[in-house]
Amino acid sequence: MVAAIPRADIALPWDEPVEDPVAVLAAARAALGDTFVVDSGGRRWWFVFGPIGVRAFYAIDERIASKGIADWEMLRRKLPDELFVGRRTLPHELWSRHATASYLQALDAAIAVSFDELGSTGSMELFAWSRRLGHRMGLASWGGIWPSRDPSFGDLIDAFDRLDGSMAFVDPVGTRHVVASGHADERAALAALEARFATAVAERSAHPIDDLFGAIVDRWSDAGDDERDRGIARDVVLVHLGSMSNLFAALGWTVGHLLLHPETADQVRAGDRVLAERCALESTRIAQRSLMSRAVLRDTDLDTDRGVVRVTKGDSIATLLALTNTSAAPGLGAYDPSRWEKRRLRDASALPARELVATFGHGSHTCPAQPFSLAAIVAATSSLLDRYDLIPRFDTILPVRGQIGGVARSREACVVEYRLR
Ligand code: HEM
């Protein structure tokens, strides 16, 4: 028998202005329970927060309810369509073929330039620092652009920041004008990036290296010059935009939490890399705001905590990590890196379903860049603590209110004073 499901009379922020969509969905859940629908912008959204529904969510076959299409529908509110057409690099293949060793050197080089930029003493805004470093770490790893302090590197970062697809869920209300503008600013930024990557390709053909960028270049070896240069640039741009959704913010939270927990920071500073990775997972868990969604391609039955429901083609199914990650079991509200063991929660059995807590996802869509991201965060955090004495001029980190998706950006400036040790 198909269950009757309550409907929340709310809208989603890309359809109508909603100041704090996470709070609005939290209130709907408090009123209606773990399973409810939202009709917004002509589409039905099935929200699931209970153990049965969330477990079923992660188990859905991509051909029946697609993450790829759900992501594309979200991102095209900010990114021009041509960026998605003709891509030859699937991030899964990129990561599976290349071992960690192929990018560790690039990460170290990016961190070195970032320290060079900081100098010996001063103050910085934590998330601005982590964002710039995230760009450098990524572009050195898959963009063939070695970290530098050259002003042209700043221009490159500016172009990525203008294009930034994650604004579709970080600031969905502020992004509503983009489609009407014909993606004019985004197209100009993309053109600037294509020109820059054509140079990177030319430099690379003189000195081939077997790294992630080399793997992208190889995929276009049969194409004519213009098609190849544009294809490589767009492959790199899409991978890099994917990295901008979460990596720099997770790094910011990891460092920020450590500065607020000096005893744990001392252990990381003493060289405990296993602990550093646990800290990265713990901060990511707490800061996760990801809206996980799937676009329904075929009518299907979905198990929920209210019974089986019939979802139909054109609907979306979704859950929101901000409403489960810190509340699915007692104690999850606290920062405690020791709850992690080998990238899993030690007592996942205490959860009604282990899928109720997610950092890099579950099931077939688990983040392919998890090993890279953890390596990057551990390297950057450990090196920063090792090199500098750091004093946080903030006592808490709060997520920005309008964001619905990805790891939280910080609502307020998190200023850190630093001095070489
Ligand atoms: C701390 C950093 C990161 C976090 C917390 C994170 C988190 C996630 C999560 C939760 C998912 C699953 C989403 C779902 O099931 O709907 C995911 C998927 C994905 N992530 Fe990440 N991610 C991170 C870094 C990156 C980076 C650096 C890249 C690319 C360079 C990347 C590329 C992807 C891709 C392509 C997928 C889709 C996989 C698929 O559809 O099968 N991620 N990520």
What is the per-residue pLDDT across 362-416, written as a single tens digit (0 to 9) for each?
999 999 999 999 999 999 999 999 999 999 999 999 999 999 999 999 999 999 9
In the chain, DSSP finds a helix count (H) and a strand count (E) of 16, 13
pTM assigned to the model: 0.97
| SS3 category, 419 | strand
What pLDDT score was predicted for residue 70? 98
Pocket test for ligand 1, best of 367, 403, 409 (most atoms within 8 A of CB): 367
pLDDT digits (tens, 9 = 90+) for 222-272: 999 999 999 999 999 999 999 999 999 999 999 999 999 999 999 999 999
Q: What are phi and psi of 99, to 5 degrees?
A: -80, 165
What pLDDT score was predicted for residue 112? 97
What mean pLDDT do residues 320-329 have?
Answer: 97
Distances (CA, A) of 20 to 56, 271, 313: 27, 40, 28
Q: What is the Å distance from ligand 1's center to 421 Cα?
A: 35
pLDDT over 70 at 2, yes or no: no
Q: What is the largest CA-CA distance in the chain?
A: 68
Atom of ligand 1 nearest to the CA of 321: 10
User: Whose alpha carbon is nearest atom 8 of ligand 1?
Assistant: 360
Q: Which residue has the tokens 């619905």?
A: 404
Cα–Cα distance, 132 to 251 (Å, whole number)? 11
What mean pLDDT do residues 55-73 have?
Answer: 97
State the CB neighbour count (10 A cutoff) for residue 125.
Answer: 17
- Lowest average pLDDT, out of 17-21, 102-106, 313-317, goes to 102-106
CB 147 within 8 A of CB 140: yes
Q: What is the Å distance from ligand 1's center to 122 Cα?
A: 33
Q: What is the Å distance from ligand 1's center to 6 Cα?
A: 31
The candidate with the shortest Cα–Cα distance to 307, out of 46, 58, 67, 59, is 46
